[in-house]
Structure 1
Amino acid sequence: MTGAIVFDPLVPWAVIWGLAALTAALVLGAAWRGLSGWWLRGLSALVLLAALANPSLQQEDRRPLSDIVIAVVDQTSSQSIGERPDQTAAALAALQAEIAAQPDTELRVVTVRDAPGNGGSPLMAALAEALAAEPRDRVAGAVIISDGQAHDVDLAPKAPAPVHLLLTGQARDWDRRLIVKNAPAFAILGEPVTLTLRIEDEGAVPPGVAGMADLSIAIDGGAPQWYSVPVGQDLDLPVTLPHGGQNILQFEVAAAEGELTTRNNASVTAINGVRDRLRVLLVSGEPHAGERVWRNLLKSDPSVDLVHFTILRPPEKQDGIPVEELSLIAFPTRELFVEKIDEFDLIIFDRYRLRGILPTQYLENVRDYVTRGGTVLVAAGPEFGTADSLWRSPLADILPVTTTSRVLEGGFRPKLTDLGQRHPVTQGLDAQAPKEGWGRWFRQIEIAARGAGQVVMEGAEGKPLLVLAREGEGRVAVLASDHAWLWGRGYEGGGPQLELLRRLAHWMLKEPELEEETLSAMPGDGVLRIQRRTLAEQAPGPVQITRPDGSRAELVLPQAGPGRYEADWPAPQVGLYRLTQDKLSTVVAMGPPAPKEFERTLASGEVLDPLVEATRGGVLRISDGLPDVRAVAEGRVAAGRGWIGITPRGAYVTQDLRVVAVLPGWLWLVLAASLALGAWLREGRLPKRAV
């Protein structure tokens, strides 16, 4: 219960002060003249002025409120290192006991986890939210239990009370970390790209481990190669990607004795290998309606460099026209098929026949080009079954078909074989076909697959229409019809001409997404999308998964379509996952290549020092002993050796309020009248003192 005098004047204060000044002047004049009742007149006037001020007695019934101390407990990934979890738990338990011993004081505990999206430790955001949730006039202090590595220090709030930092870790800690300073997202195949790495030591580094470190480099989970490199220097590493698509590069520094953690000794970088320019040689044996199909397809892609020659006039034709007038430029056969043949990514023979333009030696060069890793596509017409067919040239050694020299005339609708339903070149092409099927073609060369030939499409009489094969290090495809252009014209609804030819070209160019036997994984939000593609009719075995921490798991993939098996698998750990199924293996990086939580692992108060000093708080290491909690006055130093301070706020809530007049109005008048009467009697009725 508390009380106070409050005023509610009956007239403005200016009037009261004016009357007070006038009264003081009259009282002083009466005293100067020697009037015996001057002091009674003054008291009477003072009573009247007090009545005008209308004083009242205000009484409050107050209930005191407890003080609040906020504890921000860092439980991010970096706090899982070594003995830090035990230190954190001990510090929190001691703080709870100390606060419980303080009178009228409560503890609010806020736990901080890793921020999403590699955001690190959001300590300041957690502190700001905790302060916003409590009345500021009750907050007596805040204690942060952490390694001090806050990643949102720019969000630090203005605290109304002391803020303290209890540091985990040890003063003798040291750590070695790997930094990938420069890693491009894309690189051109066949051209080296430079990555910049750096190995840094920080903390109390022992003399015996400084200077050099062992670094391993592995691509796509392959066998690592080890190098001895200097510490504290930028290392420029030239890398040439082995294949197109995603290439996973893993760098790892060998663990050194006594270092704080090895979680930052490795980094995973994904670089997509892209082709600079696709060099395609298209040789058309004669003009025909389908010739422009190939040209338009290849010219529509800005990344394709196309060299196209069409043989308009056979050499055996004798009509007296000078040779120099038969073409705009001469057909550079030697340059193309001897000197620069290995520069082409794809060679297409479109309705080509043997007419002596390309000598046998040049065709042998094409055959050897395929076995060394090149690709050849034969788009066959009626000439394929004749005596001057490519099938009767040295190319027959690599072609996956034989021909009967029979030309099948009449309408037929191309369709996928069972193998074609599973092959990536043709898989799913029929899903968007109209109800009545694709448009018809009207000519096909009768062929039969041989060797490793894969029949993915069939046509008239169920005969092979599209055959694919691997020969040596290269690839070969034979399309046994020259009527694909009908789909491009939209005849009878057309068909997926551009998509088919695009996939065919990309499969021949060995694009990873069109490989027949693949095991791939795509990281998502806490899950891995694992996919297996196979040409086998039976389901593949389980996928063996190795987590970043070395633990293993198995996953059986359900079938999602012909030759396609996939599933989502939860992957909460950040790091490199290794997947193996049958003879296939792959690696995938989950999360950021270098988690922010492990960029700086040494416990330090440097980041939070400005916030702590601004509130006169302190930074104390838990390893030096758990501090006591003391009450300190506002504005005083709130930390010392072995103790931290909180500022009691004395907050309260008013439960009841009563206001009572000091005196009733009539009593003020009686008092004033009595004093005035006393002055009159003293001055006029009482005998004067003799002089």
Structure 2
Amino acid sequence: MLELSNYNTRDLLWLGDWSLGWVIALGLLGLSVLLFSAYDLRDMRLHRRLTLLGLRASVFSLAVIMLLEPALDLKQVSRVKNHVAVLVDTSQTMSLNVAGEKQRRIDRARKALEDLRPTFEAHHEDHHFDIFTYGDTLTPTTLEAALTTEADATQADLSAALQALPDHYRGKDLGGVIVLSDGIDTGAIGRRVRRGEDLDDASKEILSSLRAPVHTLAADADAGMRDAAISRVRHDDFAFVHNSITVEVDLFFSGIEPQPVPVTLRRDGEILQSQSVQIDPEERRYTVQFEFVPRQIGKEVYTVEVPHFEDEALLENNTEHFVLRVIRDKVRVLQVVGRPSWDQRFLRQLLKRNPNVDLISFFILRTDDTPQLVPRDEMSLIPFPTDELFNSELGSFDLVIFQNFNFGPYNMARYLPAIADYVRQGGAFAMLGGDLSFASGGYARTPIESLLPVELPPAGPGQTITHSEHFSPHLTAAGDRHPITQLAFDPAQNRELWEALPQLQGTNIVTGPSEGATVLATHPTLTYGGQPMPVIAVAERGEGRVLAVTSDSTWRWGFEHLADGGTPREYQMFWNSAIRWLIQDPELKLVRLDVHADIAAPNTPIDATARVFNSDYSPAANAAGKVHVSHRPLEQRSEDTTPPQPTRTLDFQTDASGEHALDLSFEEPGIYHMEVEVEGAGGALRDENLVLVTPNVAQLRDIVPRNALLERIAEHTEGHHTLLPELNPTRLDFNPPRFVEIHQRRVVQLWDSALLFLIVLGLLAAEWSLRRRWGRL
């Protein structure tokens, strides 16, 4: 016997394999039969006609039902509980006090979460209440853990948390969402929807994808908050030296009385610029622009700040620090030529074609002693502007080239010490050969000779130059790998390329390398003191670098090589590499300290690497060195002359690749200067870098709650919004569970029944009997 009490749901099934078309056809057939019967029985009394039609309709209907094979689907089911996601905001702004109170926002959210505990228990038969915290990421947790969690996340990405829910509940039923937050969203919705605006279409699409109500419980209102904040500083990742750069500063003021507020830009503690913003009670957001010109290459720390106001909710967001990398836009080159020549022409064309070079070239065609046959204002040739170039503008050049230039006729002796100082302070200088260069140009025993990487013969009678001799310079061991003379990475191939170059013609006579110089190429036959005479030599002088090429015929490497079926590639590589080395391109330093992040948080590992190369630019394996670290507080002003305080010195030794990964992290905020020092053959090699260590307060740049945003989110999803501490848990409705679990099932076929067959026979018999009685055969 069938126990119906064992099943709690019943559904009617149709087991017959009949399409909808056939069912409609059967229905039309039955209607046709009834209409024909009604017409055939039109002469009978009404009640008799209706009785016969009813019997025939019943028989036909039962026959169709038997053809469709009805069955009863009996099931014992229980509903599967769906999920309600409870999201607790643990970002840094939740640690702030509620406006006008001493209670923190996170404490108010915790109190609401505790008040919801009975609601969770009362609905446990229909819903799983899953607790999450969110800040940087969405993190599952427990109710007890959420009641004690701290608000310290550096982001408040509510948008990402909501977008993660569909994937988290893939294949499951989400019945609702509860958000406990101050409404500040650093994610997509918060960035797109400004204060006072409605949700945009993209934000609505994110919310609609949940297909569940989102109930929002606001931890604080957006009224009564008093705060002045630098919400954002927009600047390029790098700037060009001697070129203007613009820094835009976005400001946010809440609860500040109408007044002018100064906004100050500092560079390494020194005030660079200051602007004023007039506070309007109807406006909260402002933008100011600072435009300035960086004067030196490297990293510089800048600070933007607004003053502190009484009773501000937070002071950390009144200041913003950032690091600006200053690089070269173009290499400024001063080329001074004593006489036009093929060598000068080729080098000038090379420099002019280089888009990264800003060339100023002077051809000396007349001197102050040249006779004037016409008035000065009618002459097209102006005297050489020595005072302007070497007194006022010298520091603006990255490289100075003296090419076959004799300084004597231009009364330049008094400027030579300035050129020497320019080099020792970081400038670059190159002297190229010719009959007006080196000793032939009178540079012996001058400040310029003290710069040169070669020694000059003493003044007086004697040969100082050869004019007609052709020769091919021989690379030294250092020249095999030095970037200036490295035309190929493989030393053997590099020598083959040098041997295939056209020969040079003529050279200035020098007496050997000077102290600390590196000889890259020598003359094949000329010697001095038994040693080959240098032809190409380099040296570091103070903070700057110098190059000497004793021949004025390097142009042959481009012109004659091209005529012989080659290319001017080697000529171009030589001079481009020489310029890069002279201006101290960071990629060509023998010691490099690379720091891969300019800004780091306290106690965060810093990715830094010390790289050391030999003088021939091969990796310096097992090189010992030190890293000196000094610290300067962020609050230190330019008027405070206290030098940076040394904090530590790290010893290191490079591996086989000439590298060493430094283990660095700093606890205290500030500017940390790092200098790597390695003893090389020519003395100490150094490089420096800096890291700005500052707490990550990006999430605190906008601390005013966004109660209105939470309200719009709730409205769009048909959820409930309330401002805590007011809370009515009965207003929090969730979607009922949509999924069920079947425990027992049975299908009972209703059409396969003797009783149904007898009923059909009985109806047919009754209809036949009545027709005979009423005279219808």
Q: What TM-score comes out, normalization by structure 1 length?
A: 0.72
1:415 pairs with one of 473, 476, 481: 476
CA gap of 1:388–1:585, structure 2 versus 1, over 3 A, is closer
Matched with 1:656 is 745
2:235 pairs with one of 163, 175, 183: 183
Letter in 2 for 1:15: L
1:617 pairs with one of 716, 719, 727: 719
Superimposed CA distance per residue, residues 35-65 of structure 1 (whole angstroms, 9 cap, x where no aligned partner) = 6xx7764663353133134163422314233
1:201 pairs with one of 250, 253, 277: 253
Matched with 2:757 is 666
Matches of 2:674 and 2:576 in 1, distance apart?
Answer: 30
The reply on whether 1:559 has 2:654 as its aligned counterpart is yes
Superimposed CA distance per residue, residues 327-360 of structure 1 (whole angstroms, 9 cap, x where no aligned partner) = xx976433x3234444462432223346x6x23x
- Partner SS for 1:333: coil
- Kept in 2, the 8 Å contact 1:370–1:474? The answer is no
Which aligned pairs between 1:78-227 and structure 2 lie closer than 5 A? 78=92, 81-82=95-96, 98-102=119-123, 103-108=125-130, 112=134, 114=136, 123-124=158-159, 126-131=161-166, 134=169, 138-150=173-185, 151-153=187-189, 154=202, 155-158=205-208, 159-168=210-219, 173-179=225-231, 183-184=235-236, 189-202=241-254, 205=255, 211=259, 217-219=265-267, 221=268
Displacement after TM superposition at 1:502 (Å): 3.0
Matches of 1:569 and 1:63 in 2, distance apart?
Answer: 62
Matched with 1:241 is 294
Matched with 2:402 is 349
Matched with 1:676 is 767
Matches of 2:242 and 2:532 in 1, distance apart?
Answer: 42
Matched with 2:626 is 541
Superimposed CA distance per residue, residues 362-404 of structure 1 (whole angstroms, 9 cap, x where no aligned partner) = 2423543553576542123576565653225564465565323
The reply on whether 1:505 has 2:579 as its aligned counterpart is yes
Superimposed CA distance per residue, residues 20-42 of structure 1 (whole angstroms, 9 cap, x where no aligned partner) = 5666788997554x76xx77646
Q: Which moved more, 1:486-495 or 1:511-520?
A: 486-495
- Kept in 2, the 8 Å contact 1:65–1:138? The answer is no
Matches of 1:323 and 1:474 in 2, distance apart?
Answer: 43
Matched with 2:539 is 468
CA gap of 1:436–1:299, structure 2 versus 1, over 3 A, is closer
Matched with 2:322 is 268
The reply on whether 1:391 has 2:444 as its aligned counterpart is yes
Superimposed CA distance per residue, residues 611-660 of structure 1 (whole angstroms, 9 cap, x where no aligned partner) = 42133212234x516663x4xxxxxxxx3xxxx22132454355635142
Matches of 2:701 and 2:35 in 1, distance apart?
Answer: 75
- Kept in 1, the 8 Å contact 2:403–2:437? The answer is no
CA gap of 1:666–1:148, structure 2 versus 1, over 3 A, is same
Which aligned pairs between 1:195-344 and structure 2 lie closer than 5 A? 195-202=247-254, 205=255, 211=259, 217-219=265-267, 221=268, 229-230=276-277, 232=279, 233-244=286-297, 247-253=300-306, 258-260=312-314, 262=316, 265-268=319-322, 270=324, 272-275=326-329, 278-285=332-339, 287=341, 290-302=343-355, 303-309=357-363, 332-334=382-384, 336-341=385-390, 342-343=392-393
Matched with 2:510 is 446
1:587 pairs with one of 657, 674, 690: 690
- Kept in 2, the 8 Å contact 1:527–1:570? The answer is yes
Letter in 1 for 2:303: Q
2:733 pairs with one of 642, 645, 650: 645
Matches of 1:548 and 1:76 in 2, distance apart?
Answer: 30
CA gap of 1:104–1:333, structure 2 versus 1, over 3 A, is same
- Kept in 2, the 8 Å contact 1:125–1:156? The answer is no
- Kept in 2, the 8 Å contact 1:185–1:272? The answer is no
Matches of 2:277 and 2:650 in 1, distance apart?
Answer: 42
Identity of aligned residues (%): 16
CA gap of 1:43–1:398, structure 2 versus 1, over 3 A, is closer
**Unaligned ranges ≥5, structure 2:** 1-6, 17-22, 97-103, 139-153, 190-201, 280-285, 459-463, 524-530, 636-646, 678-686
Matched with 1:478 is 548
CA gap of 1:382–1:93, structure 2 versus 1, over 3 A, is farther
Superimposed CA distance per residue, residues 409-437 of structure 1 (whole angstroms, 9 cap, x where no aligned partner) = 8655233649x97x9x7598774443473
Letter in 2 for 1:143: I
- Kept in 1, the 8 Å contact 2:228–2:317? The answer is no
Displacement after TM superposition at 1:165 (Å): 1.8
- Kept in 2, the 8 Å contact 1:194–1:238? The answer is yes
Superimposed CA distance per residue, residues 224-277 of structure 1 (whole angstroms, 9 cap, x where no aligned partner) = 779685465543423220213555533244665542472574142535444467
- Partner SS for 1:305: strand
Displacement after TM superposition at 1:672 (Å): 0.5
Matches of 2:44 and 2:27 in 1, distance apart?
Answer: 26
Q: What TM-score comes out, normalization by structure 2 length?
A: 0.65
Letter in 1 for 2:249: L
Displacement after TM superposition at 1:296 (Å): 3.5
**Unaligned ranges ≥5, structure 1:** 317-321, 631-638, 685-691
Matches of 1:572 and 1:671 in 2, distance apart?
Answer: 99
Matches of 1:548 and 1:84 in 2, distance apart?
Answer: 32
CA gap of 1:121–1:667, structure 2 versus 1, over 3 A, is farther
- Kept in 1, the 8 Å contact 2:175–2:734? The answer is yes
Letter in 2 for 1:648: P
Letter in 2 for 1:578: Y
Matches of 2:649 and 2:54 in 1, distance apart?
Answer: 101
- Kept in 2, the 8 Å contact 1:414–1:459? The answer is yes
- Partner SS for 2:703: coil
- Kept in 2, the 8 Å contact 1:156–1:611? The answer is no
Matches of 1:591 and 1:674 in 2, distance apart?
Answer: 100
Letter in 2 for 1:402: E
- Kept in 2, the 8 Å contact 1:454–1:468? The answer is yes
- Partner SS for 1:368: helix
Matched with 1:44 is 55
Q: Which moved more, 1:575-584 or 1:144-153?
A: 575-584
Displacement after TM superposition at 1:283 (Å): 0.7
- Partner SS for 1:304: strand
- Kept in 2, the 8 Å contact 1:284–1:309? The answer is yes
- Kept in 2, the 8 Å contact 1:523–1:590? The answer is no
Matches of 1:426 and 1:512 in 2, distance apart?
Answer: 14
1:12 pairs with one of 26, 29, 35: 26
The reply on whether 1:522 has 2:599 as its aligned counterpart is no
1:434 pairs with one of 492, 495, 499: 492
- Kept in 2, the 8 Å contact 1:367–1:394? The answer is yes
Matched with 1:378 is 431
- Kept in 2, the 8 Å contact 1:416–1:426? The answer is no
Letter in 2 for 1:162: P
Letter in 2 for 1:3: R
